[in-house]
Structure 1
Amino acid sequence: MSPLSQQPSPTEQSEAPGPMRQRSRQACLPCRRRKRKCDGKMPCNVCKGYDYECEYDNGTQSAAPLKRPSPLNSSPSQPPKRIARSVHSSTALKQSADSSILPGVIEPSKPRYVGRYSSIAFPLYVGLEVQATNLPRLHSFAYHTGVRKEPTCAVSHKITGHVPWSTARSLLDIYTAVIHPVFGFLDMERIYVLSEKHWHEQPQDMAFEALICGILALASLFSDFLDQESETWIVSHAKEILEDVVISRFPTLETIAAWILRTIYIRSTGRPHVAWLCSCTIMHLVEAAGLHHAPEFIMQAIGNLAPNPEIADIINRTAQVANCVHILVAFEYGRSIMTFNRQTIQNNDTTPRGAGVTSQLCNLVATIPTNQGTDDPDVLIPELLSTLDRIITTNVEHDFLILLRADLALGIYRRLRVMEPGLQHGQNDRVISVGTAALSAARRLASLSQPWWNVVGSVFQFACALIVMDTPASCEKLSEAMDTLQVIVDRFQTHLAREALSTARQLVKAFLDKKRRGVETLERIVGTTTPEASVPAEESQLLHDIASLSPSLAAQLPIDLDYLWAMDFQPPI
């Protein structure tokens, strides 16, 4: 069970003990308004039973109802107030209307986040406004006519019957060693414990089964530990769970994590459009669970969990990686990028887990501009050039991130080529530098048979960029890029790798044909202006002139006569 799914029932939440007064001399404000007997506690029994916002007049109750500050009320001068069903009173809503963070509503028992202006939340706001005795629950009242019954859950636990525990444990080890260092958003110690329970007659919920399926599928992809048929079944089983209408109603942290793993797998094995759709689903789930707000808001609102730095870190890290995966897929594919709170991928050094490869991944993705509000080249080109500088200077250590850095630099280069075809050679040289580093990284990953999604793609895109640059420096690196592509093809022996190599060779051949046509054109020009028969005589006269002007130069013959033809031996006037 995830931190977001381990939640007390509404009854348990209402019975949580609060600070108590020794003696009661005055009733709380809700009991006074409703003329009910108040026991003077904070909160009192009446407010607990009806989920009222229990508060007293100033000076009658000194205990603070909630120790953690609520980000829904950004005013530091006002003490936080207990939120009935995680919803502010009308006064608090008005006070927070001008806040930079627009507060929404999170239902503790789901969890489920909706915007403050949602039709689902409005009946509850109305109940607060009219001070109703029984507040309407956060529910989709009158959402449709209800002429059809909702389907029941159509999936069940199957993974333990298809994969023995010994195999699952080995795949967990592979995932922890290979993939987790890059996408470090899971608590692997906890995953090991829950997995062992799951395989030994203590089944976890279906969201956890989808999560463990994602882990096993990726580990198998990077190790060939399972046959392809078994791996495909695991992926399909996770898909059935994640797309079930009952499971998807409750976007727990495990659900979001399982979708992240599914997106990584689809990006590594599927089509660009499908990967982009999966990444968009992640972002929708992030919003649905309220992870796009600050972690302390989630901690306060969902389940009233006690402050726990480790759980807060997992929540924040999940939001970070979700953002990163979506932005990477959308940016590379040229599709729309969904953005909520950029703070989730910028504040990645606040916990012990913040240091390492995952932090470098977040820093690298944070360089990408996600605002798409203008198409003005005068604005975009300087921004892209600045982004290119940030990408190149971002320090990364893992070979996958070295390839990823080249991917992002090439993505900026492609955009600059569209808006400014005459790109300066200085920009080309910087792209060549990160691309050259990616060639070595691709060779190392290929030698380990690790099919990161950009092992082939980075090298292929770099070769295409070198061809279109058409400079001496790019032509010099083109040979190394093609050799690297050949090494990768020899290692993986897949259709897509061979297709990339074949396409790159066709482009190189077309590039060579273009060069030859240019040379032939120049040769025709030389042939029409200088008769072929007279060339030897003129060359002989030129050599005689050189010998008379500079005996030392004549001693170095033969020399490049084509170069000498372009020289001006006359002194400047």
Structure 2
Amino acid sequence: MDSSKRKRARKACQPCHERKRKCDGSEPCTTCTEWDYECYYEDRPQGKSRAVRQPSPRSQTAKSPQQSVPGPSPAESDHCGLVRRMEANSGAAFVRKLGLKIDPAKAPKLNLFGWNIGARQLSSQPSTGPALSLFEITSWDHLKALAQVYFEKVDPCYGFIEQSHFFERLNARWQSSPVPEVYDSVICGIAAIGCLFSQRSATITELHLIRTAKSCLEMHHLTGPPCLDLLTGWTLRSMYLRMTDSPHSTWMASSTLMHLIEASGLHPEKQYDSVLPPPLECDQHARPDIHRRLVGVAHHLNVWSSYDLGLSRVLFRTDDLPLPPSPKLGDYTGEVLGLLPVSVRMDPGKTKDETDLEPTLFKLLEGSHSQSPSVMAQCNLVLCILRRIHTQNLDLSPKLAEKILALLKKALGCARSMVMDCSPWHQVANVPFQIICVLLVMDTRSSLAMLPEAMQTLNLVASTYNTETMREACSAAYLLVLLHQQRRRDDVAIFGEALNNHQQEQPVDFSQQFNPSAEEYNWLGALVADLPGLQRVDLDQFLNADMMDGSFMGSGGNFPTESR
């Protein structure tokens, strides 16, 4: 092999070295030019831990038009970076690009597979017409029973309603005039979610409750800042849509909710002297902690619906997040909302250095989450960060990869327990599907060994909630695994053909220990540097291993670190 024909950088530039990317040694290198990084090289004398920055010769002569190389403009670089971050946050784009990489001809279409369990259809839908009155839908005892289900299963995770205050309002409402009120949207919203978390099949009552709640919200005429009842009703509607409806419907509802919160003046923690009307002055029972919880849940719903769709989230002029909610017995809303600061920092519009992803991921994995919905929210954020890491072609340490797989396995167990408990949170379908995709990208023995459990979990969700959405998710997951298997079979066939041809031409005695010379060792080191798939291979371990042991094989994914 002619070493003069091999293009290998003798020294990587500092940005490529820090980001663990392949560098071609140019000044500036191709990677820095594409990603709009400041390319420079550092002299590292032996025995010194601190590097002395040396300016690139290209940067010294950049002022000469004849010698400068035109690069992308700052506007173009910012736009490209924004698109990459939007695609990385979106689960739909991640699945589409994964399929295109395996087999472009058979890749699944762009779709948010398994975004939730989907709409549960009835054999006979309620007739079209005006929404029914709250008193015409069901009885007071039934509403009370459904509300008990809500406060038992949902309120501990999204706790922004005072239970005692709700039942007081429910009793008072049942003794008042049947004329529709805005608080009917709260009663119907809680009861509809209670139906969802108590029956695996939709009922006429649930559909009427949702229709009445929507009618109350849309017909309410604003004559001033929105009241807390209206904000609570819109929050409940956004929650229900996130678990059952399409991504765009959820994003529209959550965006409307965020605009109403801004109009109410509920989001700023600090109040200032102003001639503008005070926030929610008509609400006598509202407490600051309830305000913070409601704003936090609204942020949470809007952030993730916008990320999944690759659309903009609603930003306030002062985009300060609410303070953490006060602790309450049996309540873990603080665990879920505690993820909000990291979630907001993942906004595609923020140009944060992507090298901070690994420390952020490590800190996130160290967080304590006690209940299944909270664990699923934690796992969803981890999966988003992994997609960003995959897009940036960054490596993960073996210790971090082990922690990631442990959390993914824990999340799969939580999904199964939530299905058995009739708790169809949106993540019960979304997380298992995205886990399957991440396991295929990691492509290590440990990750692939978890695939059967992930597929069984997704099938359990689909068999329990037999919706069109879940059937599509299972079909897409099966197709991705099938394409990956076919790709692996084709690779094995190529390896087999290469070995057979080599053995026919020159039989090799593998019983002899391979002891390379210094020159051969340097050549192998150069080969490892040239091939991205081998850069994580321990060369000493490889050379000293038994060459007859077929269990050693370099990883083929973007961010795995262990051998398959």
Q: 2:147 aligns with which of 167, 172, 176?
A: 172
- Secondary structure, aligned partner of 1:198: helix
Which letter maps to 2:331?
A: G
Q: 1:293 aligns with which of 268, 271, 278?
A: 268
Q: 1:265 is matched with which residue? A: 240
Displacement of 1:565 after TM fit?
12
Q: 1:460 is matched with which residue? A: 433
Q: 1:348 is matched with which residue? A: 324
Query: Residues 55-74 of structure 1: CA distance to partner in whole angstroms, max 9, x if unpaired?
Result: xxxxxxxxxxxxxxxxxxxx
Query: Residues 490-530 of structure 1: CA distance to partner in whole angstroms, max 9, x if unpaired?
Result: 33333322322222121111111111111111111111111
Q: 2:339 is matched with which residue? A: 364
Q: 1:449 aligns with which of 413, 422, 425?
A: 422
Give runs of aligned pairs for residues 266-415 of structure 1, distance below 5 A: 266-294=241-269, 301-302=278-279, 311-340=287-316, 341=318, 343-345=320-322, 347-349=323-325, 351=326, 353=328, 356-370=331-345, 372=347, 379-415=352-388
Displacement of 1:224 after TM fit?
2.2
Q: Closer, same or farther in 2 for the Cα pair 1:207/1:245, shift >3 Å? A: closer
Query: Residues 189-228 of structure 1: CA distance to partner in whole angstroms, max 9, x if unpaired?
Result: 1110111121123568722011111111111111129953
Alpha-carbon distance between aligned partners in 1 of 2:328 and 2:346, rounded to the nearest angstrom: 28
Q: Which moved more, 1:237-246 or 1:509-518?
A: 237-246
Query: How many pairs are equivalent?
Result: 390
Q: Which moved more, 1:468-477 or 1:239-248?
A: 239-248
Alpha-carbon distance between aligned partners in 1 of 2:280 and 2:504, rounded to the nearest angstrom: 91
- C-alpha contact (below 8 Å) 2:459/2:474 kept by paired residues: yes
Query: Residues 236-261 of structure 1: CA distance to partner in whole angstroms, max 9, x if unpaired?
Result: 22112212262586511111111111
Alpha-carbon distance between aligned partners in 2 of 1:375 and 1:293, rounded to the nearest angstrom: 22
Displacement of 1:439 after TM fit?
0.7
- C-alpha contact (below 8 Å) 2:238/2:250 kept by paired residues: yes
Q: 2:216 aligns with which of 230, 237, 241?
A: 241
- Secondary structure, aligned partner of 2:266: coil
- Secondary structure, aligned partner of 1:366: helix
Give runs of aligned pairs for residues 153-172 of structure 1, distance below 5 A: 158-172=133-147
Alpha-carbon distance between aligned partners in 1 of 2:415 and 2:223, rounded to the nearest angstrom: 38
Say whether 1:563 aligns with 2:549.
yes
Q: 1:116 is matched with which residue? A: none
- C-alpha contact (below 8 Å) 1:241/1:247 kept by paired residues: no
Unaligned runs of 5+ in 1: 1-153, 547-558, 567-573
Alpha-carbon distance between aligned partners in 2 of 1:398 and 1:452, rounded to the nearest angstrom: 13
Give runs of aligned pairs for residues 545-556 of structure 1, distance below 5 A: none
Alpha-carbon distance between aligned partners in 2 of 1:311 and 1:375, rounded to the nearest angstrom: 33
Displacement of 1:292 after TM fit?
1.5
Alpha-carbon distance between aligned partners in 2 of 1:286 and 1:519, rounded to the nearest angstrom: 57
Q: Closer, same or farther in 2 for the Cα pair 1:248/1:432, shift >3 Å? A: farther
Q: Closer, same or farther in 2 for the Cα pair 1:284/1:501, shift >3 Å? A: same
Q: 1:121 is matched with which residue? A: none
- C-alpha contact (below 8 Å) 2:375/2:411 kept by paired residues: yes
Displacement of 1:297 after TM fit?
6.1
- C-alpha contact (below 8 Å) 2:257/2:298 kept by paired residues: yes
Q: 1:63 is matched with which residue? A: none
Displacement of 1:356 after TM fit?
3.2
Query: Residues 112-155 of structure 1: CA distance to partner in whole angstroms, max 9, x if unpaired?
Result: xxxxxxxxxxxxxxxxxxxxxxxxxxxxxxxxxxxxxxxxxx99
Q: Closer, same or farther in 2 for the Cα pair 1:250/1:374, shift >3 Å? A: closer
Q: 1:509 is matched with which residue? A: 482
Which letter maps to 1:322?
A: A
- Secondary structure, aligned partner of 1:397: coil
- C-alpha contact (below 8 Å) 2:200/2:422 kept by paired residues: no
Alpha-carbon distance between aligned partners in 1 of 2:329 and 2:301, rounded to the nearest angstrom: 17
Say whether 1:215 aligns with 2:201.
no
Displacement of 1:458 after TM fit?
0.4
Unaligned runs of 5+ in 2: 1-128, 514-544, 553-564
Alpha-carbon distance between aligned partners in 2 of 1:431 and 1:297, rounded to the nearest angstrom: 45
- C-alpha contact (below 8 Å) 1:194/1:204 kept by paired residues: no
Alpha-carbon distance between aligned partners in 2 of 1:303 and 1:275, rounded to the nearest angstrom: 25
Q: Closer, same or farther in 2 for the Cα pair 1:525/1:318, shift >3 Å? A: same
Say whether 1:477 aligns with 2:450.
yes
Which letter maps to 2:196?
A: L
Say whether 1:528 aligns with 2:514.
no
Query: Residues 67-115 of structure 1: CA distance to partner in whole angstroms, max 9, x if unpaired?
Result: xxxxxxxxxxxxxxxxxxxxxxxxxxxxxxxxxxxxxxxxxxxxxxxxx
Q: Closer, same or farther in 2 for the Cα pair 1:331/1:389, shift >3 Å? A: farther
- Secondary structure, aligned partner of 2:448: helix
Query: Residues 364-402 of structure 1: CA distance to partner in whole angstroms, max 9, x if unpaired?
Result: 2222234758675xx431233333233222221110111
Which letter maps to 1:263?
A: S
- C-alpha contact (below 8 Å) 1:348/1:354 kept by paired residues: no
Q: 2:203 is matched with which residue? A: 228
Q: Closer, same or farther in 2 for the Cα pair 1:416/1:373, shift >3 Å? A: closer
Alpha-carbon distance between aligned partners in 1 of 2:281 and 2:409, rounded to the nearest angstrom: 51
- Secondary structure, aligned partner of 1:479: helix
Alpha-carbon distance between aligned partners in 1 of 2:432 and 2:142, rounded to the nearest angstrom: 34
- Secondary structure, aligned partner of 1:369: helix
Q: Closer, same or farther in 2 for the Cα pair 1:344/1:155, shift >3 Å? A: farther
Displacement of 1:180 after TM fit?
0.8
Larger Rg belongs to: 1
Q: 1:440 is matched with which residue? A: 413
Say whether 1:201 aligns with 2:176.
yes
Which letter maps to 1:409?
A: V
Q: Closer, same or farther in 2 for the Cα pair 1:182/1:307, shift >3 Å? A: same
Q: Which moved more, 1:249-258 or 1:280-289?
A: 249-258
User: What value does the CA root-mean-square deviation take over the aligned residues?
Assistant: 3.4
Q: Closer, same or farther in 2 for the Cα pair 1:375/1:425, shift >3 Å? A: farther
Q: Closer, same or farther in 2 for the Cα pair 1:565/1:253, shift >3 Å? A: closer
- Secondary structure, aligned partner of 1:170: helix
Query: Residues 441-465 of structure 1: CA distance to partner in whole angstroms, max 9, x if unpaired?
Result: 0111111121111111101100110
Q: Closer, same or farther in 2 for the Cα pair 1:469/1:498, shift >3 Å? A: same
